[in-house]
Amino acid sequence: MSNKHTFEELLELAAKLRSDTGCPWDRKQTIASMLEHAEEEIHEVRQAIENGDHDNLKEELGDVLFQLVMIAQIAKEHEYFNMDDVIAGIHHKIISRHTWVFGDDKASTPEEALELWRLNKEKEKNVSPE
């Protein structure tokens, strides 16, 4: 078995766990019940970062990623959205908010970039700048 796996395989793994032939515990989970598990994994990522433990960080990031995949799988089963929708949404957001990278705005410092991000977010949310 190869050590290299694809994101698609991870999605298939979540679908299998949630299937009739999968895991009873995984099948029982809801989007709401996954919140506690996701928060716990995020906390473990924080600990690994604070401890400078990159090996553990790699593992904990995988745990967080799988929590997100499971939540998206549950959402797909309820026909709320699927992982493709999640990816399309974040792809669009990152490009539309980084106008100094993908557009004509200029930002040469982190502070300028952060301010442009904030302004672009306000424009997207239809909120007037302060």
Return the residue matching tokens 């029982």.
28
Q: pLDDT for 84-109, tens place per residue?
A: 999 999 999 999 999 999 999 999 99
Q: pLDDT for 28-68, tens place per residue?
A: 999 999 999 999 999 999 999 999 999 999 999 999 999 99
Q: Are 16 and 22 a contacting pair, CB within 8 Å?
A: yes
Using alpha carbons only, how large is the chain's radius of gyration in Å? 19
| Tokens standing for residue 118 | 């904030």
Domain positions in the chain: 7-81
**DSSP state letter for 80:** S
| pLDDT (mean) for 67-82 | 98
Looking at residue 25, its amino acid is W
3-state secondary structure of 39: helix
Q: pLDDT for 2-18, tens place per residue?
A: 689 999 999 999 999 99
Of 20, 24, 5, 11, residue with least CA distance to 72 = 11
CATH class name, domain 7-81: mainly alpha
Instruction: Give yes or no for residue 130 having a pLDDT over 90.
Output: no
Quote the pLDDT of residue 69.
98
Quote the pLDDT of residue 126.
76
pLDDT classification of 1: cutoffs 50, 70, 90: low
Q: What is the pTM of this model?
A: 0.87
| pLDDT (mean) for 62-82 | 98
